[in-house]
A and B are shown apart, each in its own frame.
Chain A
Amino acid sequence: MKKLPKWNEMEEGFITRILSESINKTGTWRTFKPIIDQSRCTKCGWCIVYCPEPCIYYESKKDSKILIDYDFCKGCGICAEECPVKCINMVLEE
């Protein structure tokens, strides 16, 4: 009888290793674009934790400038709604 393969000898099944961030740029879905008013931003970080994408991040470390990755931002507006100092404006995409 032919010897059956062990679990570690089996061929890989349907496994994909391509990350969505490398090909699926969802920024094209956006109607309104969030713009951070950097002069009023207190860098509290609530927009970062509430972003469902996630596409908002500190530039380098904590308390550095907060940036938005427009390649992925879908323009939901949660950041603008939840910002404690209301320094994020949603402007119509052109």
Chain B
Amino acid sequence: MPFKSINDIIVKQDFFSPGHGLCAGCGAAQIARIVMKVVGKDSIIINSTGCLEVSTTTYPWTAWKVPYIHVAFENAAAVASGIRSAYDALIMKKKLNKDVNVVVLAGDGGTADIGLQALSGAFERGDRITYICYDNEAYMNTGIQRSGATPYGAWTTTSPSGQRTFKKDLMGIAIAHRVKYAATASIAYLLDAANKVEKAISMNGPSFIHWLQPCTIGWRFDPKLTVKLSRLAVKTGLWPLYEYYDGAVKLTVQVPKRAPVLEYLKLQGRFRHIINNKNELVKIQSYADELAAKFGLGPVSE
């Protein structure tokens, strides 16, 4: 059943418990929480190494109320495929009579860079898994090193003068594999995101969700701005919310009037060195315009 109002989300039980060690205002906690509310009790979470893993499963406690397995960076999708096969076999042999949702939660490093070949394999085999990538645009857990998903101009400890390349198009990669379902999500648009997760787990094949997650430490902003920044990323056109299903790409959240990218960049310390640099700003704005033209977003209004 689709979620119609936020109350539909509130009444769902939480399977992600408070007391985890993620930073104050961390977007990953919110993503994990909403995902757990939607997928529910009959799920297995596969979590590759990253912030979410180190801070939610510090021995001896765990923040997860469902079966959870931690795996290495590169094999999250492969482990998910294995768990899916094991369950399918047990159900076929009638040793189990309940189906489960196999859900992978992995960071952008574990998805775009290190885990890409296992992910590609799982997509190509058509395994019935849901892969959710929480994208904080760098290796935040190990100390803010650049990853393939770092946007143009962003400071990280290994790109001190700003990243020179644009963000890797993970959705493009997923769509090229002709997955059953692929979507982008944002913390600020929770109804949209919850419906996307629900759709993804109901697919009879691989599904992929790319979820932007503002990181207070790595992006250098005040913790209270997490949701505001997610919203601005959508409003500026840098993070269009769309879904791919049945061979067609459809915009799910329309932005009639886009905000200039500067509004999004000036709140973040990682872009501090370029907000007075006209050339760099024009480059990022034209990247946003390109995305807007591709997905049919509205024009920029000052």
Binary per-residue interface labels of chain A (26-41) against chain B in the complex, 1 for a CB within 8 Å, 0 otherwise: 1001100000000000
In the assembly, what is the distance between CA of A50 and CA of B46, in Å? 24
Q: Are B19 and A21 in contact (CB under 8 A)?
A: yes
Q: Are A77 and B18 in contact (CB under 8 A)?
A: no
Q: Are A78 and B224 in contact (CB under 8 A)?
A: yes
In the assembly, what is the distance between CA of A67 and CA of B26, in Å? 21
Interface bracket on B = 35 or more
Q: Are B25 and A20 in contact (CB under 8 A)?
A: no
B223 at the A interface (CB under 8 A):
yes
Q: Are A52 and B6 in contact (CB under 8 A)?
A: no
Contacts A18-B60, A19-B65, A20-B18; is A76 near B223 (CB within 8 Å)? Answer: yes
In the assembly, what is the distance between CA of A18 and CA of B23, in Å? 21
A85 at the B interface (CB under 8 A):
no
In the assembly, what is the distance between CA of A49 and CA of B9, in Å? 7
Residues on the B chain within 8 Å of A90, using CB = 224
Residues on the B chain within 8 Å of A46, using CB = 6
Tell me the A residues contacting B by CB distance below 8 Å: 16-26, 29-30, 44-46, 48-55, 58, 62, 69, 72, 74-78, 80-82, 90
Tell me the B residues contacting A by CB distance below 8 Å: 6-7, 9-11, 14, 16-27, 29-30, 33-34, 56-63, 65, 187, 190, 216, 222-228
